[in-house]
Chains A and B, each alone.
Chain A
Amino acid sequence: MNIRKIAELAGVSVATVSRVFNHPERVLPETRDRVLAITEEYDFTPNWFARNLTLGSTKTIALLIPGIDSDLYRNIISGVETVAGNKGFVVIFCQTRGDAEAEFNFLKIMKSRKVDGIIQVRSLLTPSMAAELQTFNIPRVHIGKNRECGCEMMCYLDYEEAAYRLIHHLSGLGHQSIVLLYDNQGDDITPEIEAGLHRVSRELKRSIRFTAFAGENSAQGGYLAVQRMVQNGDLPDVLVTAGALQAIGALKAARDMNLSIPGDLALASFNDSPVCSVVSPAITCLEMPAAKLGMASARLLFDRIEDDDQDMGVSQEMILQPKLKIRESCGNTTDIFELFD
């Protein structure tokens, strides 16, 4: 029995049934009585009603996140907090620092604190740890693609499509060699970038040289990367950095070494930051919908916390799409570089 069937039986809309439980004063008494009679007959309690009565709910959820030092993480936190706030929940925040052991311990502590649900960002849990959590019985959502961490719900960004769009654009500008500077602390996004790159090569029937190396996700990291490429005498057409700060560092290195961007070296970043549009040349980048990612994952979590049997029936996986923001650093010369289309 679900709310739709109740509505059908009572000959009213789903919203009316909903109103009978939430705002009975707004429903005509005879309609209300009819709906209540049917819900009683079928022994039906709507979940949003039950959720307020759930015994033992602490109205808290936990957010396990590697750090707070990037725009991406900050925006995820903000997104999660927004939805939790809308629901009247408090978020307990645990910084895992990219350590599987720490993450595992936090999970056990959160269980003892009786949180209603948990969101794990970029989980590093191993299958054996996940197995130990089998009996946990707390809804968990994973922001990331680790399928071994035992979360039944997942939410992540489509990096491959993002890479495809960025490289398609770069390639269209005539660039033929790309170096990726990825984050030595974060995920290695090289496989996704390579997949996107292959799609572009296939489609445009053009070969693109690609190499990747790791660096610190900071301005310093970007600075050193450019210095290294210049001193090794192997400047590519484009440098793509994983983080916006790395791109800023690359910009500074170029200035110090009298390189013109984008003339001698084109530049793009795999993540956006407000500074990217402020510096000159403004940096072309991908905007990751991180706040939306936080909101989406929190919503999956609350759907589960609030109703086990409302049967949302949708896939428990949500994929979000980054957006390409074409500015100047990639070598784009059209006048309208701040309109993203």
Chain B
Amino acid sequence: MSHTIDLMGLQLKNPIMTASGPWAGDAVGIQRCIDAGAAAVITETISLEAKQRISPRLFCDDDGLFNTMLYSNMHLEEWEEELSTIDRKDAKLICSIWGSTASEIAYLSKKVEHMGADAIEISISAPIGSRNLRMLRHSCDIQEFMGAAVKAVDIPVMVKLSYEAASSPNFLRELELSGIRAVSAIDALKGLAGVDIENQRSLMPTYGGYTGQHIRPVSLATTAALHQYTPLQVVSSGGVLDHETAIEFLMLGATAVQLASAILCSGYGIITEIVRNLEHWLTEHGYSSVDTLRGTALRSLRAFEDIVPRSLCASVNEKCRRTECLICAQSCLQDAVYLDEAGTIAIDPDRCDGCGLCVERCPHGLLTLEWR
């Protein structure tokens, strides 16, 4: 069975891509992504200047990841040399670029096209360092900037969006008019790991990009919302950890997904694993192609206003005497959860307003919401 997809007119052998970042920062890294089975590899972001790297630049918090890396530290000339040595096999190579003016973006686009890129991803909103606020604030400029790239090259162009940029319908409309073919979202969120309160110091010296599993809910919502806002193809980034999270994004309408933090935390092997597991899952569940699965969960989403209020009340399905737990009682703003004379958990239906929190939080699944 084939799981090929069409992204901006490019045939990808599967919907798993690798995102822009240091795992694809030179020929060796890119080759490892390709060899691991990625359908498309996006280079670390290439700009006219090689960016300096600060050390340390990666910070962790549980499984959340913060980075203070801004784009590639290689010169354009070095990139030219590196890219010429890659054996692409059946993978596509997408060059990520950043520029501060329309002419700069057009130049870089043309350059990477000459270097053999199959497509271009323009980074417009990394959360680290100074951003091009003008581009983000003035929708009219974005059309000029992106249009300059589209006009300069014959290969398809996509734009990588921050959460903020992806949330503006006006901005997206301007992007669409510029002639780009797809958007990827979301880029890292702006984050700080915390504050050392004994010493009144931020744990990180500057804002970082917050990525990984904790940004997945934001990214999932953005994928769904982008479908509402724009007919452009959507490539999801942000918290794709395994084949199941990849499927979530596809079911919310993503054309393909990008891996980033997953590679940093689990190595290049995670790409192979996700591609393999995704294929198994699709076969097992009887999907003949990725296209038949795409967007299928969107149907289950509706506007808040359209959700008819149901009259539900919490109920206990199994006697519980775990007085050391009482999570349900602590969760209830209505004070509806109490211990009856027998010392078991009970719900006062007159007080319960059906918020559902006790049900969600009970570690043993003893509670459910029932019709009154």
Chain A positions within 8 Å of B, measured between CB atoms, are 3-4, 13-16, 18-19, 22-23, 26, 82-83, 86-87, 158, 161, 289, 291-292, 295-296, 299-300, 310, 312-315, 317-321, 323, 339-341
Contact = CB atoms under 8 A, between A and B. Distances in A.
19 contacts: A4-B154, A13-B116, A14-B116, A15-B88, A16-B88, A19-B85, A26-B87, A289-B49, A295-B49, A295-B75, A299-B48, A315-B103, A318-B101, A318-B103, A318-B104, A320-B100, A321-B100, A321-B104, A340-B129
Contacts of B78: 86
B106 A321 contact: no
Interface in B138-181: 152, 154
A291 B50 CA distance: 11
Contacts of B207: 339
B104 A18 contact: no
Contacts of B86: 15
Contacts of B104: 296, 318-321
Interface string B66-93: 0000000001111000011111100001
Nearest to B190: A341
Given A13-B93, A13-B118, 7 more contacts: A15-B86, A86-B78, A310-B114, A318-B107, A319-B103, A320-B100, A341-B131
B76 A299 contact: yes
B206 interface: yes
B110 A15 contact: no
Q: Interface of chain B, helix or strand or loop or mixed?
A: loop
A295 B48 contact: yes
Nearest to A321: B100
A295 B75 CA distance: 10
A134 B203 CA distance: 60
Contacts of B132: 321
Nearest to A287: B130
Contact of B49 (A14, A19, A292, A300): A292
B202 to A, nearest CB: 10
B133 interface: yes
A172 to B, nearest CB: 14
Contacts of A22: 84
A161 B130 CA distance: 16
Nearest to B87: A26
A83 B206 contact: no
B280 interface: no
A323 B77 CA distance: 25
B134 interface: yes
Nearest to A28: B87
Contacts of B106: 314-315
A15 B84 contact: yes
Given A295-B48, A295-B49, A299-B76, A339 B110 contact: no
Interface in B98-129: 100-104, 106-107, 110-111, 114-116, 118, 129
B49 A314 contact: no
B107 A296 contact: yes
Contacts of B111: 299
B61 to A, nearest CB: 20
A22 B82 CA distance: 12
Given A86-B75, A319-B101, A312 B114 contact: yes
Residue of B110, B114, B130 with most chain A CB atoms under a 10 A cut-off: B114
A13 to B, nearest CB: 6
Given A315-B106, A341-B133, A26 B101 contact: no
Nearest to B133: A341
A318 B49 CA distance: 14
A299 B83 CA distance: 18
Interface in B321-343: none
A319 B100 CA distance: 9
Contact of A82 (B75, B100, B116, B130): B75
A26 B85 contact: yes
A85 B114 CA distance: 21
Contacts of A317: 103
Contacts of A320: 48, 100-101, 104
Contacts of A341: 130-131, 133
A18 B152 contact: no
Interface in B9-66: 48-49
A170 B119 CA distance: 41
A340 B110 contact: no
Nearest to A18: B84
A149 B55 CA distance: 45
Contacts of A321: 100-101, 104, 132
Given A13-B88, A83-B77, A323 B101 contact: no
Nearest first, the 5 closest Cβ-Cβ pairs linking A and B are A15-B116, A321-B100, A86-B77, A14-B116, A318-B103
Contacts of B76: 299
A290 B207 CA distance: 25
A245 B84 CA distance: 45
Contact of A23 (B85, B118, B133): B85
A291 B52 CA distance: 13
A18 B130 contact: no
Contacts of B48: 292, 295-296, 299, 320
Contacts of B114: 3, 14, 310, 312
B18 to A, nearest CB: 17
A323 B132 CA distance: 9
A117 B111 CA distance: 20
A296 B103 CA distance: 11
A87 B116 contact: no
Contacts of B107: 296, 299-300, 314, 318
B49 A313 contact: no
A22 B206 CA distance: 42
A23 B84 contact: yes
A314 B206 CA distance: 37
A145 B132 CA distance: 23
A277 to B, nearest CB: 14
B2 to A, nearest CB: 20
A19 B93 CA distance: 15
Contacts of B87: 26
Nearest to B207: A339
